[in-house]
Amino acid sequence: MKNDTAIPKPSSEPSRLNFLRWGTAAASVGFVAASIQPAAAADPIEAFVCATRDAGDTFQNVGRRLNFNDNQSAKGSILNIDHRGDGTGNQVSPGQTYGLDIHNYPGAKSALVIHQYSSVERAVIIDNTGAKPAIEINNTRNDVLNPGSDGIGDYLLLRDHNNAIFRLDKDLVVRLAGPKTLTVIHTAAKAFSVQTAGTYNGDTMDIVKSGSGLGAALKIVNFGTGPCLQIRQDGLGNALEIRNTINPIFTVSAAGAITSIQGKTVSILAGTGNPEGTVAAPQGSLFLRTDSGQGPSLFVKESGNITPTGWKPK
């Protein structure tokens, strides 16, 4: 039994005949050969398909069932899939119609492996001109192949010489390992930006240092002329708050006044004029008067708790 099928080429490309041949050879039934034959002697063969082992690939010790090769002068794709199905024609499971569908069964090794030997170009390029995501990873459930088990695998795993160095798990937790440091470098705009939705009222960023060593929980090195740290507060909360396990130990209000030191409710304020009778603050607070030449420039709140009286000039 033999079936030779000619696959038409687009009119914009050179005319070629693509043959896929199935039949009987060497007392075995199955794939024999497939090839792309040139239409003319001057038209080079772009690719061929065979069932022999690629001797240059040391990771493959057995023959492949289907092998595609091209040469350096090839200008077309080795394999092209034009997918137009919208799922309406699939009667078994409507909506699940894919251009390429790979099932990696329980116990099997990697379903898709790409060996990158080239230093000229990337191994994988995804050209997304649509409105949907270019890549989607969905942890789901299949009670036929994995009864009673939900997908709990990592969304992303990066390795360096077979050592896991970057892991994005199912809870969206990034785990780093080895001597690598996650570094963000940007040459034109903000190097790193964290934003939340207007309906979210929790913490925007949480930095937790679990180790008890001398390393800082946050280290900022600035070689520029701008501020080392800039906090913009457009809301009503404190602009800066440093806490221990329970309570704030140092805070700066939205207006820029220091309102807590070492966990004590005292204020360091600045302004014009005499604060007596006009500025309420806890006892022990300081007021720095900025209109020089109009009297004392330092006032201490010696009496009264969060009242406008009790300021004494110094």
**Containing structural domain, residue 58:** 1-79
Q: Is the pTM of this model over 0.75?
A: no
Residue 182 lies in a domain: no
Whether residue 184 lies inside any domain: the answer is no
DSSP letter at 35 equals: E
Residue where one domain finishes, among candidates 16, 48, 79: 79
What does each C-alpha distance from 118 to 72, 107, 114, 122 come to in angstroms? Answer: 13, 31, 12, 8
The whole-angstrom separation of Cα 267 and Cα 269 is 6
Q: Which of 79, 114, 143 is the last residue of a domain?
A: 79
The encoded tokens of residue 153 equal 């695998």
Q: In Å, how far from its chain's centre is CA 286?
A: 47
Any domain includes 190 = no
Question: Is residue 270, in this structure, part of any structural domain at all?
Answer: yes
Of 47, 79, 111, the last residue of a domain is 79
For residue 86, is it within any domain?
no
pLDDT in tens, the chain (314 residues): 334 444 444 444 443 334 444 333 333 333 444 444 444 444 444 444 444 445 555 555 555 566 777 888 888 888 899 988 887 776 666 667 888 989 999 899 999 999 899 999 999 999 999 999 999 999 998 888 888 888 899 999 999 988 999 999 999 999 998 888 888 888 888 888 899 998 998 888 888 889 999 999 999 999 999 999 998 888 888 999 998 888 899 999 999 999 999 999 999 999 999 999 999 999 999 999 999 777 899 999 999 999 999 999 99
Is 127 among the domain residues?
no
| Residue 163, C-beta contacts closer than 8 angstroms, at least 6 positions apart | 177, 178
d(CA 107, CA 150): 16
Q: How many domains does the chain have?
A: 2
Whether residue 266 is contained in a domain is answered as: yes
Which residues lie closer than 8 Å to 155 by C-beta, 6 or more apart? 137, 139, 168, 169, 170, 172
Retrieve residue 37's tokens.
Answer: 């034959």
